[in-house]
Every structure is written in structure tokens, then in C-alpha cells.
Chain A
Amino acid sequence: MTGALKGIRILDLTRVWSGPLAGRILADLGAEVIQVSGRVTVPRADYPPEVAKILAVFPDNEPGERPWNRTSANNDFHRNKLGITLELNTPEGVELFKRFVKISDVVLENYSPRVMPNFGLDYPSLSQINPAIILCSMPGYGSTGPYRDWVSYGTNLDPASGLASLMGYPGEEAHMSGNAYPDPIAALHAAGAILTALFHQRRTGKGQFIDLSQAESATSLIGEAVLGYTLNGKIPPRLGNRHPSQAPHGCYKCEGEDKWVAIAVSTDEEWAALCHVMESPELIDDQRFADSAGRCENQDAIDERIEAWTSQRPHHEAMRLLQEAGVPAGAVLDAAELFANEHLSERDFFWEIDHPEVGLRKYVALPMKFSKTPVQKTAWESITNMFSQKSWGFPKMRSPSSNKRALSATSQLIREIASTIAAFEFKERSRNGLY
């Protein structure tokens, strides 16, 4: 059994998070994804210890000699990919890239929209080389329109997309997510769009250009709120963790430091069950709390009673007691608790992957379980084993480059990359039965 996308080759030019995650999803699904990095995309090499500690991305906060091979983000986002370095701002680099395009299915990039045309690598040029090629561009605001050249990060798109306007403490300002959430939203849409184009390509032999906007990706996940505004004329207020028509609905303090449990009651039955678990059956008969409307109105009083109960016990215990009684509840997990979570462990959510420069580490799964085409859990058997890989040697989970020499487009490097492209071309012809 092999991954669903076996036989599909993808050139991934992306940086930061949104693009590399999109590429990684496709790699996890079994595509052959070649991460193409240039000098500017490789992180700097000199991290003072205090900076390394703030970043917290290196094993034991040690950047090592080749920090680009030791950052957790790189090793996660580039897992299951092959890594090469190639300078697209040199004519030789562009020529080599075009040879790759000829034998690939997809080019994925998240530069600002001027960059690919500047390289001479816009969609018309690529499609001339290979009419079946799919180019997916995913700049912040899309490839057209007045903001097309704006610089932006996920942290900007959070407020720009409207997402932040729906998050925040009651009556306070719009609140950004803690993790630049628009990035993974764009990644998932990009992966889906590329797969859709690949499906069409398999059927017709035709490639196409996908123009994805990261801002629009995020707004699409609050489409009902925008439509809703046109129906009732109301801008949704920020409610913290409360619900406009259901109560109690919130996040309650538990025993221990910064421990919380979320409780979301949506029916009278769940309310009664909650009262029983809290051993406060008198609340069930309290007329103020008899229905959702009443409970919403008197939520402060209810919250006080709930917190008096939750604060006496660990969050996991509160969750278990409530769930066993049929009340929707969830412990608010931090990274360590998530990592130790019994449910996630039993479902094999953490994958252990070996890497030559950081050793055996755990990473989150691609969260889809396929019955017939399981996702790639570890780096695949790389075809680069067939060839000498002096400057970018490790086949498994390769992050950009392995040494500084490889970062310059010297003639030596070009020769090596050329020989590797020849290897890919050889593989392609073999597959087509030409050898």
C-alpha cells in the first residue's frame, strides 16, 4: 500500500508556514515534493544563546553548526520532502528550474506576485515548457487587485480577514490568534485546490494556474457571519467564550496553575446533568435558569457556581465527570498535555521520525486516516540514494542546504544540481518505459 499521490511530482518554492504546510500535506499524501530553497530562505547561522532560547525551535536550544537543519519548523514542514538549493535569481538557476518543470506536475509558491514574473517563471512561461503543469500562487491578498503587492503575514491577515473581529474578551478590542491562524487555513485551501487541479489534469492532460488569496481563505471560514450581518444588520459582538443563545458556555478555572476546563451546555438536559454532577440539584428548580434564555441572562451567577466546583478539581477530572454525565466539556490542554493525551496517543497522532541532525523526534500527524492509501509516516526511500549528493546529502527529511558553500551558485553546485536533475529525468523516462 502506498500513499494516494504516488507518482505526482511537486516543486515547492514556498517559505515560512502557509506554503510549506501545503506542500507537506501533499508530501504526507505520497507525492514526491521537492523543496527548492535559495540563499534568502535559509535561516541565519548565528543565534546568540538568549535568542535561541526565545525561539525554542532547536533541540535543547542548541542551533548547532547547521541551524537550518535543526529547526523544528523546517524539519516538520519539510518532512517527506526532498530538499535542494537553487538560486532562481541567476540565469543558470532558472534554466535548471525549467528542466524540473518539464518533468513535474505542480509548482507551488508563496512569493509576492511580482517575483515569479521577475524570474521569468510566470504561468504562461511554465505552461509553454509543460502544458500539464499546475502553478499555485498563494500571496497574502491574491495575484490581482489593489493590494496584490502588499507585504503581509498571517498575523496581519488575522485582523484583515475579519477573523480577529470575532475573537476577544467581551466588550474589548479584536484579538489576534496566538499562532497566525490564517496560515494553516490558506495551506489547507491550497492543498485542496492543487488536488482538484491534479484530478482535472489526470483526466484531461491540462495544467492550470491557481490564484489563491490567503486573506480570502480566512474570510471564507466566517462566511456565515458576513452573510448574517446582511440579514440582521448586526455586527457580531465579541463574547469571549460565551454563546449568543446558549448557557452556560465558558472556560472555567480548575485546580492548579493556569488550568481550565471548557463547558458548553446547549440543552436543558445537559444543564440538569451539569447540576447533578456539581451536586447542586436545587439549581435545576431555580426558575431563573429554567431555559436557555434565562441561563444566558443570569450567566454570571451560574458561572460563579460552576467555577466554585471546577476550581476544586483537576481539569481532566472535571472533563471526565461531565462527559460521563453527557455534558460537553473539554480540558484546555497545553503543549505538554496535548503531547501526553491518551486519546491522541491511541489514535497514533504523534509520528516518530528520525533525522540525521536532530535524531528521533515526534511530530503531529496529517489528521486523515485513509483505509487504502495510508499517509506517509516516515520519509520515503529516496531516489537521491542512487546518486552522489555531496552538498545536500541526507535523503531523509532534508531541510534546505547542508553547508554554506552550497548556498552560492558556484559552477560546482550547478554541476551537482544538473546531475541530480538528470537523475530525475532518468527516473521519469524509466517510468515511461523508455529505458
Chain B
Amino acid sequence: MQALEGIKVLDLSQLVSGSYCAKLLGALGAEIIKIETPARGDQARNAGPFLEDTPHPERSALFLYLNTNKKGITLNLETEAGVNIFKVLLKDADVLIENFKPGYMPGLGLGYETLEKINSSLVMVSVTDFGQTGPYKDYKGGRLVANALSGYMYINGNPEREPLAGGGEQPAYQGGLHAYAGIMAALISRETTGQGQYIDVSIMECMASIHQFTINRYVYSGKIQNRIGNRYMYSHPTTIYPCKDGYVSISPSMDEQAERMLLLMEMPHLLEDPRFETGFHRLAHAEEFDELVKPWFLERSKEEIVKLCQEWRVPAAYVNNVADLLDDEQYKARHYWVMLDHPETGMRPYAGPPFKMSETPTEYERAPLLGEHNDEIYLGRLGLSRDELEKLRENGVV
């Protein structure tokens, strides 16, 4: 049995945030119906990377990755018939996920207050750039803007240069992750109360809440954390060093780990040097320290360094790019990559959920083609006739 067996989710999401949340619920056994606009579909279908770099709505890695374990139907919510059909689907749904601009759903007559009357046990979550209220609610967001306004970007990069945004779509993913936890909490509460509820998730707040060291330190001591380059604020060397065949990551943040590192490097004399006495001292003299240790790294391969460090219980790791990850021994041993076949893109590796549950397995199915499950849902589930479905198609509803 899967953990969320019997839970029905309607996923109206575009792009990343809501889609990642629904993808996780799907892997855990919920039935996800992804509802896309006819013809156009989820905007993720137009975002790459694409198979052979050629744009195609069924060949976008972003869409394919974020929509595993979902059934796909098309429905035009900007038509009266579309809204009515949606309300029928909603009657026995447990969860609704949407990430439109604030006001869009109420504008369609599909605000929570209305939906709650149709289905009082519904858990509805809205993930938006800035939340449903407040002076920025109608601002335009997105990856870079969220990186900036959340304060996350200010602490990333080189102090003399411009702040750096995190890689990939991190703000939207954080929105989706928080929505996942929020939905699960609401479903647990519903087991007792029978009541659904509405959850408002702001991506700006999600990102602002996950680097709280910066805010805590400001509140407690007035310290404004600045960028520090490829280092860490508390100790050195927590960094990336070039080596013989690439780069390695090391972070002996406890002094005893740093001592062990210098011992294994056969440089115990550095321990006697007052400039390098503690992690703080080494941070203050980071350039000098790096000059002394870099040659040791440059003479050795990454595998040699990482394995030797780990033997001595010194935190060290590989610096992996996306290709390296597919070859990583640990990920292979844990069957993290799941091979899924897709009619348009073939057999490919997909990152699995990053946790394994002993009693309730996760399962994987490829993302749906646009409208792939229209017949199953409209004919099978809602009991429409073929003629009726054809008519909806002609009117641009489906």
C-alpha cells in the first residue's frame, strides 16, 4: 500500500512550484489529475532544455521531470462549461494545487470561499511569488526576483562583485516543498476534524525563511552578513579547491577535523602557526592558508583526496556536474535514478524522491502527454458521452 492511496489531487500548476508539490504527492500514491489549458498546456512545456535542443511541447525536460505520476487532461477554465466541469471534478477531490497570480481563481468564480461550499473537506493551496496579500502581491516575480527580494542572493557570490542567484529554479522548488508539507499537515488535521482548509504560500517568504542565520544574526547582534566568495562564514577551509583532475569540496569546520586534515596532508607544522590556529584564524588568513595547501591538492586526484579525507573522517566531497551525478556510485547503489520510458523522448533517468519509506513504497510513471487522459477522466470518470466530449472539443473547452 502506498502512503497516500485514495487521495485525489487536482493540479492546476504552471511551471515549477505547484508541479513539484503534486509530483511528490503522486510518487507517494495520490492520484494526480494535472489540468492544462487546451492546445497550449503548462508553460513548462515551452521551457527547455529540450530533446536535441529543438522546442517541442512533449520534449521539455522541465515538464517531463516535474509531472511524473500524473494523469493529464485539458480543460479551459476561461469558459463557463470549463468552470462547471471543474466544479464536478472538485466534488470528490481532496487537494487542489494552483499557482496562478492572486485574484485569478476568484476571478473565474473559483476562489476558496466558493470551492469550500462545494467541498468542505477540500485542502486548497496557492503558491505565488509574494502571497495573496501585501503591497507586493501583484508584483511580477520569477526566479531572479525571488532570489533578490528574499535576501538569498545578497549572501551568494564574491564580495567585490554582483550577488549571484542560486542555480536552477530554487525559489519555486522551495514554494513547492513548503506546499507539500502544508498539504500533508492539513490532511492529517482533516483526519480528526473532517474539515479542509486554505493554505497561502509565498515563495519570497519560503526563500527568506531558509537562510535565517542571516536574519538571526542581524536580530541578535546587528551583523549584516555579506558575500564571502567560495568560502563559509564560520571557518576555513570550507571551500572548493582545484586538484589534479578537477575540483574537490572540503569543509573541516571543527578544529579537530582541520587538525586531522593537516596531519593527513603531512603539514602538521601549520598547526603551530598562530595564523592558522583555529577556523576563525584560518578564515582571517584564508589566502595565505590556501597558498600553502593548494599544491598538495593539485598533485592528487579528486578520488584520492576524497577517499583519503573520509578515511581520516575529514568532511570532503566531489564537485559534481549533472553528468557526474549520473555516474555517482552512491546514487547508483541507492537506485536514486529511475529509468522511465516516454514515447517522445525514450528511456531516460529521472531523479527519484530523496527518501525511501519502508512500508509505503514510492512509485514512478512518466509525465502525461497533453490531454492523454481526457477519455479516461471525461468518459470514464464523469460519464460524458463521446458526442458530448467532441462538442466540448469543438468549443475549445477540452
Q: Are B188 and A4 in contact (CB under 8 A)?
A: yes
Alpha-carbon gap, A189 to B202, bound state (A):
18
Q: C-beta contact mask, A187-223 vs B, less than 8 Å → 1, else 0? A: 1111111011111101110111111111111011111
Chain B residue numbers with a CB within 8 Å of A76 are: 212, 216
Q: Is B66 an interface residue (CB 8 A)?
A: yes
Tell me, rounded to whole Å, the shortest Cβ–Cβ distance linking B217 to chain A. Answer: 4
Q: Is A232 an interface residue (CB 8 A)?
A: yes
Chain B residue numbers with a CB within 8 Å of A366 are: 209
Q: Is A281 an interface residue (CB 8 A)?
A: no
Q: Are B164 and A168 in contact (CB under 8 A)?
A: yes
Alpha-carbon gap, A346 to B195, bound state (A):
28
What is the number of residues of chain A that contact chain B, defined by CB distance less than 8 Å? 160
With A147-B329, A169-B158, A368-B201 as contacts: A160 and B240 at CB distance below 8 Å: no
- By beta carbon, the residue of chain B nearest A227 is B61
Alpha-carbon gap, A153 to B257, bound state (A):
12
Chain A residue numbers with a CB within 8 Å of B224 are: 334-336
With A156-B316, A193-B355, A210-B357 as contacts: A167 and B164 at CB distance below 8 Å: yes
Tell me, rounded to whole Å, the shortest Cβ–Cβ distance linking B313 to chain A. Answer: 5
Q: A367 is contacted by which of B178, B230, B357 (Cβ under 8 Å)?
A: B178
Q: Is A261 an interface residue (CB 8 A)?
A: yes
Q: C-beta contact mask, A357-390 vs B, less than 8 Å → 1, else 0? A: 0100111111111111100000000000000000
In the complex, which residues 121-147 of chain B have their Cβ closer than 8 Å to any Cβ of chain A? 130-136, 139-147
Q: Is B385 an interface residue (CB 8 A)?
A: no
Chain B residue numbers with a CB within 8 Å of A58 are: 220-221
Q: Are A165 and B200 in contact (CB under 8 A)?
A: no
- By beta carbon, the residue of chain A nearest B147 is A262
Q: Are A208 and B359 in contact (CB under 8 A)?
A: yes
Q: Is B353 an interface residue (CB 8 A)?
A: yes
Chain A residue numbers with a CB within 8 Å of B242 are: 173
Q: Are B167 and A166 in contact (CB under 8 A)?
A: yes
Chain B residue numbers with a CB within 8 Å of A232 are: 48-53
Q: Is A279 an interface residue (CB 8 A)?
A: no
Alpha-carbon gap, A227 to B325, bound state (A):
11
Q: Is A146 an interface residue (CB 8 A)?
A: yes
With A150-B310, A164-B240, A208-B359 as contacts: A262 and B320 at CB distance below 8 Å: no
With A29-B185, A191-B181, A227-B61 as contacts: A344 and B205 at CB distance below 8 Å: yes
Alpha-carbon gap, A371 to B167, bound state (A):
33
- By beta carbon, the residue of chain B nearest A333 is B151
Q: C-beta contact mask, B295-324 vs A, less than 8 Å → 1, else 0? A: 000000000000000100111111111111
Q: B154 is contacted by which of A216, A221, A333 (Cβ under 8 Å)?
A: A333
Q: Are A156 and B219 in contact (CB under 8 A)?
A: no
Q: Is B380 an interface residue (CB 8 A)?
A: no
Chain A residue numbers with a CB within 8 Å of B149 are: 330-333, 341
Q: Are B355 and A227 in contact (CB under 8 A)?
A: no
Q: Are A370 and B162 in contact (CB under 8 A)?
A: no
Alpha-carbon gap, A212 to B336, bound state (A):
11
Alpha-carbon gap, A200 to B209, bound state (A):
28
Q: Are B208 and A210 in contact (CB under 8 A)?
A: no
Chain A residue numbers with a CB within 8 Å of B89 are: none
Q: Is A327 an interface residue (CB 8 A)?
A: yes
Q: Is B86 an interface residue (CB 8 A)?
A: no
Chain B interface bracket (under 10, 10 to 19, 20 to 34, 35 or more): 35 or more
Most chain B CB neighbours (cut-off 10 Å) among A51, A199, A234, A258: A199
Q: C-beta contact mask, B159-187 vs A, less than 8 Å → 1, else 0? A: 00111111111100110011111101111
Q: Are A181 and B166 in contact (CB under 8 A)?
A: yes
Q: Are A217 and B317 in contact (CB under 8 A)?
A: no
Q: Is B326 an interface residue (CB 8 A)?
A: yes
Tell me, rounded to whole Å, the shortest Cβ–Cβ distance linking A213 to chain B. Answer: 5
Q: B51 is contacted by which of A209, A231, A266 (Cβ under 8 Å)?
A: A231
Stretch from A244-252, A404-412, A422-430 contacting the other chain = A244-252
Chain A residue numbers with a CB within 8 Å of B135 are: 342-343, 346
Q: Is B234 an interface residue (CB 8 A)?
A: yes
Tell me, rounded to whole Å, the shortest Cβ–Cβ distance linking B275 to chain A. Answer: 14
Q: Are A152 and B3 in contact (CB under 8 A)?
A: no
Q: Is B377 an interface residue (CB 8 A)?
A: no
Chain B residue numbers with a CB within 8 Å of A97 are: none
Q: Are A188 and B310 in contact (CB under 8 A)?
A: no
Q: Are A161 and B177 in contact (CB under 8 A)?
A: no
Alpha-carbon gap, A58 to B144, bound state (A):
32
Q: Are B230 and A175 in contact (CB under 8 A)?
A: yes
Q: Is A394 an interface residue (CB 8 A)?
A: no
Q: Are B210 and A189 in contact (CB under 8 A)?
A: no
Q: Are B65 and A241 in contact (CB under 8 A)?
A: no
Most chain B CB neighbours (cut-off 10 Å) among A175, A249, A367: A367
With A59-B220, A210-B356 as contacts: A167 and B212 at CB distance below 8 Å: no
Q: Is B119 an interface residue (CB 8 A)?
A: no
With A156-B249, A197-B360, A368-B182 as contacts: A235 and B322 at CB distance below 8 Å: yes
Chain A residue numbers with a CB within 8 Å of B180 are: 188, 192
Alpha-carbon gap, A237 to B1, bound state (A):
42
In the complex, which residues 320-353 of chain A have their Cβ closer than 8 Å to any Cβ of chain B? 323, 326-339, 341-344, 346-347, 349
Q: List 7 A-B contacts (CB under 8 A).
A: A57-B221, A72-B217, A167-B167, A251-B165, A341-B149, A368-B199, A369-B199
